[in-house]
């Protein structure tokens, strides 16, 4: 078990959730402004802040993000004074997406200014589900915590899903577009197409393990997916509903097959799909419930997802 002198600052929500599932919540001394789960970590000191206002419309958030990145500024600031006070032995960060959270480069820059500590940096860079499970194992190894039980449990949930879907014929596998951003229109990638396929769907547009792609309205219309699932990055269910409702005002909205058949859904992307941690198993179950309500009822409807 991790010793009492371990002091971890987690600067990424998925990292915080990995620590928690491994029973290491007690060792976390600081968090990012986005780390909100499990609830008990919300009382910890916050070590980061955003340089942009996430309450603005999607197009303006996208514009501000690009402006910051073009001027070689990070989207997030690290509060080095708080880090200095916390004296962490380890910092968990990520090297996957400059838009999602504090980057490895940000952390290295901040640490160069710290006088009294040189914590070990643990950087996560998952692209597919297997990478996430390996991250859980790696974090467990670093802190001498056995991750086997946790991983067996997560993998068992994936297998249960697979078993229940075994009898599906090809005609019962719907095509699915997962929308990660509405303006510009972007489809979710990395582990999301994999989750869609595991949940008994056929993912459109995105490639497993690759970054999200921007698509045109014409592209969406031409491919005409059976199901559309909104999961905007960083937005909860209510905010996603607002974004999706704006999106429905497009002149071609009613032409979409998913709209005509009433198969458009909103999700809490922030809590589930956007976080490459243990709750990707929940995300798979949510998708299974959305795609195949005749087979699955996990009870997520109304809190993690809903029909639009």
Q: What mean pLDDT is predicted for residues 114-135?
A: 87
Say how many domains are in the chain: 2
pLDDT tens sequence across 85-123: 999 999 998 775 555 556 667 777 777 676 567 889 898
Q: What Cα–Cα distance (Å) separates residue 259 from each residue in 150, 262, 307?
A: 39, 5, 11
Structural domain boundaries enclosing 256: 169-307
140-197: per-residue pLDDT in tens?
999 999 999 999 999 999 999 999 999 888 788 999 999 998 888 999 999 999 999 9
H/E stretch holding 299 reads none
Q: Is 17 helix (H, G, I), strand (E, B) or coil?
A: helix
Is 302 within the bounds of a domain? Answer: yes
Residue 144 lies in a domain: no
Same structural domain, 99 and 179:
no
Q: Please give the model's pTM, rounded to 2 decimal places.
A: 0.90
Q: What is the pLDDT of residue 73?
A: 47
Q: Which residues contact 152 (CB under 8 A, 6 or more apart)?
A: none
Q: Based on the domain organization, do 190 and 263 belong to the same domain? A: yes
Domain-embedded: residue 132:
no
CA distance linking residue 228 with residue 207, whole number of Å: 17
179 shares its domain with 113: no
What 3-state class would DSSP assign to 268? coil
User: CA angle, corner 137, sides to 91 and 277, nearest 5?
Assistant: 70
3-state secondary structure (DSSP) of residue 212: coil
Regarding whether 178 and 302 lie in a shared domain, the answer is yes
Give residue 171's pLDDT: 80
> How much is the pLDDT for 100?
53
What single-letter DSSP state applies at residue 46? Answer: B
């Amino acid at each position: 078990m991790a010793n009492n002198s371990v002091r971890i600052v987690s600067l990424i929500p998925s990292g915080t959730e990995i620590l928690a599932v491994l029973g290491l919540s007690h060792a976390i001394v600081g968090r990012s402004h986005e780390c909100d789960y499990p609830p008990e970590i919300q009382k910890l000191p916050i070590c980061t802040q955003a340089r942009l206002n996430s309450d603005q419309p999607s197009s303006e958030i996208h514009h501000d993000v690009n402006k910051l990145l073009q001027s070689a500024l990070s989207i997030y600031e690290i509060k080095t004074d708080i880090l200095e006070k916390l004296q962490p032995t380890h910092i968990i960060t990520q090297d996957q997406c400059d838009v999602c959270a504090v980057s490895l480069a940000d952390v290295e820059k901040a640490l160069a200014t710290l006088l009294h500590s040189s914590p070990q940096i643990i950087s996560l860079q998952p692209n597919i589900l297997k990478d996430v499970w390996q991250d859980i194992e790696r974090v467990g190894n670093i802190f001498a915590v056995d991750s086997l039980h946790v991983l067996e449990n997560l993998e068992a949930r994936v297998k249960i899903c697979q078993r229940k879907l075994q009898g599906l014929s090809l005609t019962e596998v719907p095509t699915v577009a997962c929308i990660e951003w509405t303006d510009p229109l972007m489809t979710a990638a990395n582990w999301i197409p994999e989750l869609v396929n595991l949940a008994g769907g056929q993912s459109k547009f995105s490639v497993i393990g690759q970054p999200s792609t921007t698509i045109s309205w014409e592209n969406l219309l031409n491919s005409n997916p059976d199901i559309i699932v909104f999961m905007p990055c960083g937005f909860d269910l209510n905010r996603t509903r607002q974004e999706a409702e704006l999106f429905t005002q497009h002149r071609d909205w009613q032409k979409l097959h998913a709209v005509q058949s009433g198969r458009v859904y909103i999700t809490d992307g922030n809590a589930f799909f956007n976080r490459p941690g243990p709750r990707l198993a929940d995300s798979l179950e949510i998708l299974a419930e959305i795609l195949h309500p005749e087979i699955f009822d996990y009870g997520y409807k109304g809190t993690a997802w809903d029909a639009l």
